Structure 1
Amino acid sequence: MKISGNTILVTGGGSGIGRALAQRWHDLGNHVIVAGRRQDALNETIAGRANMAAMTLDVESVEAIEDFATRLITAHPALNVIVNNAGIMAREDLTARRDLSVAEATIVTNLLGPIRLIDALVDHLAAAPDAVIVNLSSGLGFVPLPGAPTYSATKAAIHSYTVSLREQLKGKIEVIELAPPAVRTDLTPGQSTREGYMPLDEFADEVMGLFQQVPTPPEILVKNVLPLRTAEAEGRFPDVLAFLNNL
């Protein structure tokens, strides 16, 4: 992936990892569009920045994604990079029958949303120069957090889907997976100040350094996520799972 001169869409760009990465890509000389549900949050991301734009997007709606893709390509025909960052996470108790609305919303937002958005834009990207798809998975896609089972499952699915996507689009669109560790954001209550989680700016700076490697790695893995990414291969999976089960 070239580091500057792109037109980049970042979903979930109104806060957290999406905002941090969008602003850093903009600092490197890219035109960046941030998308999300809340216009006020998106406006905060782009405030005072030329060559940044904001568009509302509800990834839970098939019709909204199709309409968004049409408006996006019309307004930004040079689009050549999409970053599927939008996601939600919730704790779930699986020990008794429950309302599945949270689990279903998590699957739609974290898994179906990226799949649908890629489908809506793949023809455009295939014809664009230096086209790239970046999918955000998670360290929890490699060792699940038992307290957040559906979130972990969606991130494992995104990892698998990205591997297949990379193979099918080889020679047409570059496909990159970014797997964050636990980062201090507002993804869950109290997470932005939680001890032991990676500071957001530190994470974003390390990610940008990895994106500037030539060639760009197919997996962007900061050092903090490696204990999860390599746990199974190194025979540490049961120990890491037990650790996460106590969180």
Structure 2
Amino acid sequence: MKIEGNTVLITGGDSGVGLALAKALLQLNNTVIIAGRNDEKLLQVKNKFPRLHAVKCDLCQDSERKNLVSELKNQFPELNIVINNAGVAFFSDLRDENFYENIVKEMETNFLAPLRLAQLFSEHLRNQPYSAIVNIGSAAAFLPLTVMPGYSASKAALHSVSQSLRYQLRNTKMQVIEVLLPPVDTQMVVDFKMKKLSPDKVAAEIIKELKEGRVFIPIGQIKILLWIYRFFPGVMGVLANRMVSNALNK
């Protein structure tokens, strides 16, 4: 993948891995737009990194997704890479009163928003000399977590649709790339007492793998876990959930 001289949109780019990717891509002479829901966070990031472009958008609202796409196509006609990084996760139990509402929000943010943006940007991206959609996924797509059923399901759906779209677009100049993250030191997994990679280290590895032309990119220890999963899926699922339970002291 060409990693310099692009115009890149990063959803959830005001913190964590999204912000780390934004900083790394800026250093590679890309024009970078970050999207987020929080005005204050976007302003803070913009003040710290003036070369970044920031736009507010609630990705759970289809009207805002449409407005985002329309605005960016007009303001940044050379936009050619969309990184679907925004994500939410909840600890959910079937007996919880807000179980269903939490899963709806996870599916909207983690799966339906990336799918919708891919659809809305599709024609624009296909008309670029080179373009890509990068979906930030998780090992939970393969190893569903008992404590996060909605998050796991949303990432499994994202993995499936990434494969489908990659095949649909195989004869075009538009790539579909999937990244699988391990636990990263962000607010999302603050309750997990386990080893986590820094967002900057994760971003550096993603950039390296993109530069080498990978379209399926497991990061860090996920490479080993997926190799074991190929041969012992049941055992790996039990071990993964045991590790998470220990990390939560449950």
Judge same fold: TM > 0.5, yes or no: yes
Gaps of 5+ in 2: 246-250
Which amino acid in structure 1 is aligned with residue 17 of structure 2? I
Structure 1 residue aligned with 2:139: 139
Q: How many residues align?
A: 241
1:61-100 → structure 2 map (5 Å cutoff):
61-94=61-94, 96=95, 98-99=97-98, 100=100
Alignment of 1:17-28 (within 5 A): 17-28=17-28
1:210 matched to which residue of 2?
209
Alignment partner of 1:130 is 2:130: yes
* Aligned equivalents of 2:83, 2:18: Cα separation in 1: 9
Distance 1:147 1:181 in 2: 16
Q: Report the more deviating stretch, 75-84 or 99-108.
A: 99-108
Shift of 1:244: 2.7
Q: Secondary structure at the match of 1:118?
A: helix
In structure 2, distance between residues paired with 1:91 and 1:17: 21
* SS of corresponding position for 2:225: helix
The DSSP-based 3-state class of the residue aligned with 2:88 is coil
Contact 1:207–1:220 (CA under 8 A) maintained in structure 2:
yes
Deviations 1:32-77 (A, max 9, x none): 0000101222233333435420001111111111111111111111
Query: SS of the counterpart of 1:174?
Result: strand
1:1-247 to structure 2, matched below 5 A, reads: 1-94=1-94, 96=95, 98-99=97-98, 100-172=100-172, 173-191=174-192, 194-213=193-212, 216-235=213-232, 237-246=233-242, 247=245
Which amino acid is the alignment partner of residue 198 of structure 1? L
RMSD: 1.6
Contact conserved, 2:111 with 2:158, CA < 8 A, in 1?
A: yes
> Secondary structure of the equivalent of 1:136?
strand
> What is the one-letter code of the residue matched to 1:177?
E
Gaps of 5+ in 1: none
* Residues 229 and 47 of structure 1: CA distance in aligned 2, closer, same or farther (over 3 Å): farther
Question: CA offset at residue 128 of structure 1?
Answer: 1.0
Q: 1:97 to 1:91 in 2, by over 3 A?
A: closer
TM-score (norm 1): 0.92
| Paired residue type of 1:36 | G
- Report the structure, 1 or 2, having the larger helix content: 2
